[in-house]
A and B are shown apart, each in its own frame.
Chain A
Amino acid sequence: MTYNWLKSNTFHHSEFSDLGRLVEAKQKKKIKISLCLPTLNEERTIAKEIVIMKSELMNRFPLIDEIVVVDSGSTDRTREAAEAYGARFYSAADILPDMEHFRGKGENLWKGLYITQGDIIIYLDADIKNIHHRFAYGLLGPLLLTDHIKYVKAFYDRPIAVGKNKMRSTGGGRVTELVIRPLFALFFPELTQIIQPLSGEYASYRDILEKIPFPIGYGVETSMILDIYTKWGLEVIGQTDLDRRVHRNQSTQALGRMAFVIIKTFINRKAKLGLIDLKKKMFDEMIQYNLVGNEYRPVSFKMEGLERPPMVEVPAYTEKFAREN
């Protein structure tokens, strides 16, 4: 295996800090760009994210045309915080209301595709504590300044906020290193060149995203990479170093559930591609154990691994965007 892709398709956000150049490229391509933020109880970070993006990439440099928040049913003040700075806020349940509603990040991203207008969609997690507009322009750069890259993923250092006010400088990415990278190395070694395949920040042309299915939960990042890779090849994928991203620390149990969904998504994709033959349907429940007093008690989480079809297969979408299926 060669590592040519790592050299040619890996970028650093500083390569794209000339925002005027990006605006020029955008105008040349005659395209619109949407920023979509999936949320669930993000009142502490969402407004900051919107303010910075709006100031730097809408008001000062007309790079982004709209900021859209797709929410899974927040019970805090996420909506008020987002609307205070002019973002369009949608409850995921209200988008495509004729279809059955599911809750999950993948569901929000998929519905974001329906509700946004842009030819490029940037997806950013809404819990980035050290948000900076490089998170958006770093992803846009390769899409605007090359002709072959259609999907860009972020990677970064991942210090973790531990406790109320302290930071730990290393850590994070445990599911990547313990689950997804070994799986890639075993079955798709080329994909190990993607430094952080599970990062929650990526941007892509609509005509790529609308043609792939979206798992409704955690598996969405894994499936996107596998589907884009198998459909269009590694060359259409790029990755950008965004330096540093501070995020919430997650418990090992929460990461275990995330790993469950990712492994399931991966195996399903392999089966779909005919690379493995599953003799039996996989189970839907992740079972974990808690020590209560002197007794271990099982706690199970049902995670069915549901997927949304490619958006181009949804009639309401093709009607709205006048796309031929």
Chain B
Amino acid sequence: MRTYLENLPEYAHAIKAFKETVITNVVLLGQEPAPTFKEKAKSQLFLDRLSDFGVDECTIDGYQNPIGIIRGTAKDKPPIFVVAHMDTAVKKDVNHNFVVNGEMITGAGVMDNSVGVGVLASLPFIFKSLDLRFESDIVLAGVVQSIGRGNLRGIRHLLKPWSTPVRGAVCIEGGELGRLNYSSYGMIRGEIECSIPMESGFEPQFKPNAILILNEVINQILQLSLPQRPRSRVIIGKIYGGYKHGLIAHDGTLGFEIQSDSDSMVKTIYNDIQDIVSGTGHESRVDLRLNTISSLHASSIGYAHPLVKSAVAAMRRLDLKPVSEPSESELSIFLAHKIPAVTLGVTRGKDYHLEAATMEIEPMFRGIAQILGVILAIDNGVCDDV
């Protein structure tokens, strides 16, 4: 009898035969705008699609995560979770109409994460078409409020009240194909706000400038000594402020993220930045505040974990070269709950965060086959005795 690993290339080939259905799901779901906190319409559509494909139980949980459950054959086996985040970084009023041609799909948010959601919605159809049955229940969850200020709230609230053990989990992300995440950074995401109150009447011409003060904060952050081990860094990711070219800026905001393999190092760097903010605010006599937006603990199941080894084997069987880096995603929350999990990328693409983001269609079929490989590995028990 052939093993599931041996079957994977044939699965990739077979999935290609119903590419229209997968592309349809990517397009229909991707064309429904879903900026973080406004995922309701997309969640309902996702649920409708699962229902269309005959999923046994479809529901929306108390936190608006749409969930479909495909019942397994064994009653005593814990469920397997397969998740993709529903929200995108694209605003609602941006044109969400996708363009399809023979090789590509182009559209805002397609790589992050409409293709992930489209593939998730297609899994029931794919399972049925390939005659795949599982011992475990398969929980297909589109999770809301994941990115940015969403702070992974959807997945946190999905797992919090879940009363039974979870056998393992797969997180689906659009790209890149070959991505295999099994660890997450310790992370704190924060914003530094500078505001200089306007005075009534005539404004003095030489008063503090919020942008220059934030510039001073950046310079001081760049002077921090960060260790090579544990690996640590501060990313200055966003900055905005001011009103017009000829006016001193009264306000400004700096968005940053501290990432490290070590939670304590994240905390140390955060305290250093807090000192910089307090000191600069005091010396400049302006209102300078540090706000924490979200945080995550560092966690990893390690390369030696059977789930990771199985994922690597599945990818190699499909001629994919696994690339592993820590990630901040639903994975972090699974790992924090001691649930073995990996994140996989579905396809290749470019301009992920532009309105004309593009994904390649052809690589997607191997991307889906690797997901099947990992679900089958978990269903075969690779996470059971660890």
Interface residues of A (CB under 8 A from B): 43-45, 47-48, 51-52, 54-56, 59-60, 77, 80-81, 84-85, 129-130, 132, 161, 164-167, 246
Are B24 and A56 touching (Cβ within 8 A)?
A: yes
Are A43 and B20 touching (Cβ within 8 A)?
A: no
- Please give me the residue from chain A that is nearest to B102 by CB atom: A84
Chain A residues within 8 Å of B20, by CB:
51-52, 54-55, 59, 85
> In terms of DSSP, what is the predominant structure of the interface of chain B?
loop
Any chain A CB within 8 A of the CB of B101?
A: yes
Question: Could you say which of A59, A80, A81 has the most chain B C-beta atoms within 10 Å of its C-beta?
Answer: A59
Any chain A CB within 8 A of the CB of B93?
A: yes
Question: Could you say which of A56, A164, A165 has the most chain B C-beta atoms within 10 Å of its C-beta?
Answer: A165
Are B355 and A80 touching (Cβ within 8 A)?
A: no
Are B93 and A51 touching (Cβ within 8 A)?
A: no
Chain A residues within 8 Å of B102, by CB:
47, 80-81, 84-85
Q: How many residues on B have C-beta within 8 angstroms of the other chain's C-beta atoms?
A: 18
Selected from B18, B28, B98, the residue in CB contact (under 8 A) with A59 is B18
Known A-B contacts: A81-B102, A130-B31. Give 14 more (CB < 8 A).
Answer: A43-B101, A44-B99, A51-B20, A51-B23, A52-B20, A52-B24, A55-B21, A55-B23, A59-B18, A77-B101, A80-B101, A129-B97, A130-B97, A161-B97
Chain A residues within 8 Å of B188, by CB:
none
Known: A52-B27, A59-B20. A166 touches B101 (CB 8 A): no
Of the A-B pairs whose beta carbons lie under 8 Å apart in the complex, a sample of 9, sorted by A's number, is A45-B99, A48-B27, A51-B24, A55-B18, A59-B18, A80-B102, A81-B100, A85-B102, A166-B95
A292 to chain B, nearest CB (A): 33
Any chain A CB within 8 A of the CB of B94?
A: yes
A307, B31: Cα distance in complex, Å: 39
Interface residues of B in 103-119 (CB under 8 A from A): none
A59, B355: Cα distance in complex, Å: 31
- Please give me the residue from chain B that is nearest to A80 by CB atom: B102
Chain B residues within 8 Å of A56, by CB:
21, 24
Encode B25-50 as 1/0 by CB contact (under 8 A) with A. Answer: 00110010000000000000000000
Known: A164-B95, A166-B93, A166-B95. A47 touches B101 (CB 8 A): yes
Encode B151-186 as 1/0 by CB contact (under 8 A) with A. Answer: 000000000000000000000000000000000000
Known: A84-B102, A165-B355. A246 touches B18 (CB 8 A): no
Encode B1-35 as 1/0 by CB contact (under 8 A) with A. Answer: 00000000000000000101101100110010000
A166, B93: Cα distance in complex, Å: 6
Selected from A43, A55, A167, the residue in CB contact (under 8 A) with B93 is A167
Selected from A55, A81, A85, A246, the residue in CB contact (under 8 A) with B97 is A246
Are A51 and B27 touching (Cβ within 8 A)?
A: yes
Are B98 and A48 touching (Cβ within 8 A)?
A: yes
Chain B residues within 8 Å of A48, by CB:
27, 98-100
Are A59 and B21 touching (Cβ within 8 A)?
A: yes
A188, B94: Cα distance in complex, Å: 42
- Please give me the residue from chain A that is nearest to B53 by CB atom: A60
A81, B104: Cα distance in complex, Å: 11
Chain B residues within 8 Å of A164, by CB:
95
Are A60 and B28 touching (Cβ within 8 A)?
A: no
A48, B26: Cα distance in complex, Å: 11
Known: A51-B100, A77-B101. A167 touches B95 (CB 8 A): yes
Chain A residues within 8 Å of B93, by CB:
166-167
- Please give me the residue from chain B that is nearest to A246 by CB atom: B97
A134, B27: Cα distance in complex, Å: 15
B93 to chain A, nearest CB (A): 7
Interface residues of B in 68-115 (CB under 8 A from A): 93-95, 97-102
- Please give me the residue from chain A that is nearest to B48 by CB atom: A17
Encode B339-372 as 1/0 by CB contact (under 8 A) with A. Answer: 0000000000000000100000000000000000
B102 to chain A, nearest CB (A): 3
Chain A residues within 8 Å of B28, by CB:
52, 132
A58 to chain B, nearest CB (A): 8
Chain A residues within 8 Å of B97, by CB:
129-130, 161, 246
A243 to chain B, nearest CB (A): 13
B92 to chain A, nearest CB (A): 10
Selected from A43, A55, A129, the residue in CB contact (under 8 A) with B24 is A55
Are B94 and A165 touching (Cβ within 8 A)?
A: yes
- Please give me the residue from chain B that is nearest to A54 by CB atom: B20
Encode B199-224 as 1/0 by CB contact (under 8 A) with A. Answer: 00000000000000000000000000
B338 to chain A, nearest CB (A): 40
A83 to chain B, nearest CB (A): 8
B115 to chain A, nearest CB (A): 14
A165, B109: Cα distance in complex, Å: 14
A297 to chain B, nearest CB (A): 35
A192 to chain B, nearest CB (A): 32
Chain A residues within 8 Å of B95, by CB:
161, 164-167
A199, B288: Cα distance in complex, Å: 58
Chain B residues within 8 Å of A161, by CB:
95, 97
A130, B45: Cα distance in complex, Å: 14
A87, B31: Cα distance in complex, Å: 23
A52, B30: Cα distance in complex, Å: 13
A45, B24: Cα distance in complex, Å: 13
A167, B24: Cα distance in complex, Å: 23
A217, B128: Cα distance in complex, Å: 46
Question: Could you say which of B18, B20, B98 has the most chain A C-beta atoms within 10 Å of its C-beta?
Answer: B20
A77, B95: Cα distance in complex, Å: 22
A80, B94: Cα distance in complex, Å: 28
Chain B residues within 8 Å of A45, by CB:
99
Chain A residues within 8 Å of B99, by CB:
44-45, 48
